[in-house]
Structure 1
Amino acid sequence: MAQMPSRALAIVIDLVVQFTAMVGAYALLGAFAGVTDMAMFSAVMIVLLVLVMIGYPVIFESLTRGRSLGKLALGLRVVSDDGSPERFRQALFRGLAGLVEFWVLAGAPAVIASLVSQRGKRLGDVFAGTIVISDRAPRDTGQVIMMPPPLANWATTLELSQLPDDVAQAARQYLLRWPDLSPQVQHEMGVRISTQVASFVSPAAPAGTPPYAYLSAVLAERRRREQARFAQRAGNGGAPHGPYAQPGPPPPVPQPGPYGPPPPAAARPLPGPPAAPAPEPPRATPGGFAPPQ
């Protein structure tokens, strides 16, 4: 939920832009006042006033999904109460209410309603069913999503290959902003985002798992697997190995028949000179003397 000072500054920026546009329109019409009648001049002026006061916020918020120039500068966005993007009907209600709140009553109803509302809503937000949130990432972008211990074993069985990066990023932003949201917004946005994540992830979470814990387990397990893959590749010098290795050519298969492959060199006898015949055993001579060797 956006803070009151940032919302007020965004409104001031939008009012300055609108006032500047009206001054430019008056100056442009003044140049043609002498060549047209008063009725046409008044009609064109009313149309321009309506476009500046109502058309500006409605057109900008419809085309940019909830952001006017002031909100864009301050990193704010208008969303529905359930966290979905703002629709044209809601932008129109906000624009019509803003005409009364800011241009007719000088912003007093908007300030009072924002101070009274627990969610900081002005009258336009109450009528349109919207809320203004901060659209910028938290300062601590390196914060790690922790694994809930009761879901650690279940998380190892998850199939996460179909989870899109933008859906995972939306879940991460919700978890990082969770402490700043009101309990009702925590529950509504948690149910919507966890339902979206569950359409890409299986198996289903254990019964009774709150959305915050479910999303924390999914993102923590996804990060753990990414780190494991990175460490595995870095440990092999960047070359693929394991289940991602490219298989090499199979060894040659010996062909059957009389002309099979020769035995290895270590098993083959080395050629050499023919062996000398074995000497005959000495024969005894008379007198008991053996012949000389």
Structure 2
Amino acid sequence: MSELVTGEAVALELRPARLPSRALAVLLDLIVAIAAYTGVSVALMFATASLDVAAQIAVSIAAFVLVLVGGPIAVETLSHGRSLGKLAFGLRVVRDDGGPIRFRHALVRGAIGVIEILTTFGVVACIASLVSARGRRLGDVFAGTLVVRERVSAGPTAFVPPPPPWLTGRFAELDLSAVPDGLWLAIRQYLTRMQQLDPQVGWAMAQRLAADLVARTGAPAPQGVPPAAYLAAVVQERQARDVRRAFGNGGVGGVPAGGFGPGAGVPGAFGNSAFQPSSAPQQPYGSVPAPAPVSWPATAAPPVPAAGGTGADPVVPSAQPPAPAEPRPSTGFAPPA
């Protein structure tokens, strides 16, 4: 199976698209774009017949830029990386960490694509894709994107554990704009493999990743919160923002827009399967799978301020189940046999 391997020597559960499928998708997009450009040019030819030659040339150049350059950029931005050709062949453009692309990614890909695809008839793009280990053309390299296959057979996927319930929604105001994609990928790979690491090695790795994340966000981590739980809570907040940005504030699949509860299946960068255990079957889109229990590495339970107190005396949440309710007094009525 073809997988992406990052600089941290971890595998990303995405399959890069091969050159033939990408070429066919680009060819279909070009056919649609050229047909649209031809129709617009014919309409403008009749509309600008009364203008001079210089004005007609200016209008033709504007139509070329808007239809053949601006059109693909707008389509990839609005569809989150799925043009008509990519939709037909089951492809999608994603960021290096697997998240949805934004306008700046589509702009860089479209601008460089004019040189790679239009002016050189795709020769430069084909050579760059053949040379690249992940099949990326120059536009993908400069934009930090990758074309992956979506129509793959369902298989076991890595389970990203949800954060503890008392951390859900705690980082809603955190500024995550300065965190690079490589750090997000390293954090996610640690969370999926932290149960397999040596406790001391995992603790040191979590502390290092948490320190890097704190340095990027500019906000200190809460006192008493284990580094691994802090990383999981921030990753969940980031994925929740990606979902709200992609599908609007109304939520998707029955998940409220105000946040995601612990263990909720967040359809984020890697789809719902990223929040499912590897032994669980593939769930329908928007479903909420039941995650496996996670043992967070911690030296002490995180402090929770008591209601109405000063916060000096921490209250440790009790893990014991509530006491059973007292039985109701008998009324003396016996049901008929």
Of 91, 115, 118, the residue aligned with 2:106 is 91
Determine the C-alpha separation between the residues in 2 that align with 1:250 and 1:82: 57
Match of 1:268 in 2: none
CA 1:144–1:125 in structure 2 vs 1: closer, same or farther (change >3 Å)?
closer
Change (3 A) 1:40 1:205: farther
* Alpha-carbon spacing, 1:221–1:21, altered in 2? closer, same or farther (3 Å): closer
State the one-letter code of the partner of 2:277. Answer: A
Task: Choose which of 10, 17, 23 in structure 2 pairs with 1:8.
Answer: 23
The equivalent of 1:250 in structure 2 is 328
Q: Tell me whether 1:220 sits opposite 2:235 in the alignment.
A: no
For 2:135, the equivalent position in structure 1 comes to 120
Q: Which amino acid aligns with 1:59?
A: A
Aligned-pair CA distance for 1:109: 0.5
- Using the TM superposition, give the Cα deviation of residue 41 of structure 1 relative to its aligned residue in structure 2, in angstroms: 2.0
Shift of 1:217: 12
Contact 1:82 1:192 (C-alpha < 8 Å) held by counterparts: no
Residue 186 (structure 2) pairs with residue 191 (structure 1): yes
Q: Residue by residue, what CA displacement relative to the aligned partner does 1:154-197 show, whole Å, maximum 9, x if unpaired? A: x9xx9777999xxxxxxxxxxxxxxxxxxxx9x97753535788
TM-superposed CA distance for 1:97, in Å, is 1.0
Q: Choose 51-60 or 110-119, whichever is displaced more.
A: 51-60
Return the letter of the residue paired with 1:250: R
Q: TM-score, normalised by structure 2?
A: 0.48
Deviations 1:227-272 (Å, cap 9, x if unpaired)?
A: 99xxxxxxxxxxxxxx9xx98971338xxxxxxx9xxxxxxxxxxx
**Whole-Å Cα distance in 2 between the matches of residues 37 and 94 of structure 1?**
35
The CA distance in 1 between the partners of 2:138 and 2:74, in whole Å, is 19
CA distance in 2, matches of 1:146, 1:30: 56
Paired residues, number:
201
- 1:82 lines up with 2:97 in the alignment: yes
Q: For the residues of structure 1 that align with 2:30 and 2:167, how far apart are their CA atoms?
A: 42
> 1: CA distance between counterparts of 2:87 and 2:167?
29
Q: Take 2:87 and 2:278, find their aligned partners in 1: how far apart are those partners?
A: 34
Relative to structure 1, the CA distance from residue 146 to residue 120 in structure 2 (aligned partners, 3 Å threshold; closer, same or farther) is closer
Q: Are 1:61 and 2:64 counterparts? A: no
Map 1:202-281 to 2 at 5 A.
206-208=199-201, 219-220=276-277, 223=280, 250-252=328-330
The equivalent residue for 1:72 is: 87
Q: Is the 8 A contact 1:83 1:188 kept in 2?
A: no
Matched, 1:101 2:111: no
Name the CA distance, whole Å, in 2 between partners of 1:227 and 1:219: 6
Structure 2 counterpart of 1:71, one-letter code: K
Amino acid in structure 1 at the alignment position of 2:28: I
- Judged with a 3 Å threshold, the aligned counterparts in structure 2 of structure 1 residues 162 and 17 are, in CA distance, closer, same or farther, namely farther
For 2:19 and 2:69, the matched residues in 1 are separated by: 22
Counterpart amino acid of 1:252? Answer: S
Whole-Å separation in 2 of the counterparts to 1:28 and 1:19: 14
Identity across aligned pairs (percent)? Answer: 40
For residues 82 and 146 of structure 1, what CA distance do their matches in structure 2 show? 15
**TM-score, normalising length: structure 1:** 0.54
Gaps of 5+ in 1: 148-154, 165-184, 229-242, 254-260, 262-293
SS at match of 2:277: helix
Structure 1 pair 250–196 and aligned structure 2 pair: CA distance change class (3 A): same
**What amino acid is the match of 1:30?**
M
The alpha-carbon deviation at position 7 of structure 1 amounts to 0.7
| Alpha-carbon distance change, 159 to 98 in structure 1, aligned in 2, over 3 angstroms | closer
Q: Residue 67 and residue 217 in structure 1: after superposition, are their counterparts in 2 closer, same or farther (change >3 A)?
A: closer
Q: CA RMSD in A?
A: 4.7
Query: Could you tell me which amino acid in structure 2 is paired with residue 193 of structure 1?
Result: R
Q: CA deviation at 1:101?
A: 1.2
Match of 2:285 in 1: none
Question: Contact 1:10/1:74 (CA < 8 Å) preserved in 2?
Answer: yes
Contact 2:72 2:83 in 1 (8 A): yes
Residues 29-40 of structure 1 mapped to structure 2, 5 A cutoff: 29-40=44-55
Q: Corresponding residue for 1:170?
A: none
1:59-115 alpha-carbon deviations (Å, 9 max, x no partner): 111111122211122221112222232222221111111111111111110011110
Give the secondary structure class of the aligned counterpart of 1:131. strand
Is the 2:76–2:82 Cα contact (8 Å) retained in structure 1? yes
Match of 2:188, SS?
helix
Instruction: Identify the structure with the greater helix proportion.
Output: 1
Distance in 2, Cα, partners of 1:217 & 1:130: 20
